[in-house]
Amino acid sequence: MERKCFRCGENMILDCDLKIYEGSGSLFTHKQDYYVYKNGVTNWGDELLVRIAVCPKCGYLEPYIKNPNHLLK
């Protein structure tokens, strides 16, 4: 699968993670995984992991899910 950047047209780097650190000083909370659910939070395995595409030219970030067709089930 190939993705083009909406801003500059460059091929994007796929399957990146997004890490958000919250806190101050040396005490940080690490939150890494984000998921999409069809009907709210369900059983383990029903979620779709959010991935990040990054443009190496302009730095644009784009979230996506790999298999959106699983939401149709």
Does residue 8 sit within a domain?
Answer: no
Range of the domain at 39: 13-68
pLDDT per residue, tens digit, the chain (73 aa), is 789 999 999 999 999 988 776 666 655 555 567 788 777 666 666 788 889 999 999 999 999 998 888 877 7
Cβ burial of 32 (10 Å; 0-12, 13-18, 19+) is exposed
CB 8 within 8 A of CB 58: yes
**DSSP label of 12:** P
Domain total of the chain: 1
Give the closest residue to 4 by CA, choosing from 68, 42, 57.
57
Q: How far apart are CA 25 and CA 48, in angstroms?
A: 33
Look up the pTM and report it.
Answer: 0.73
Does residue 4 sit within a domain?
Answer: no
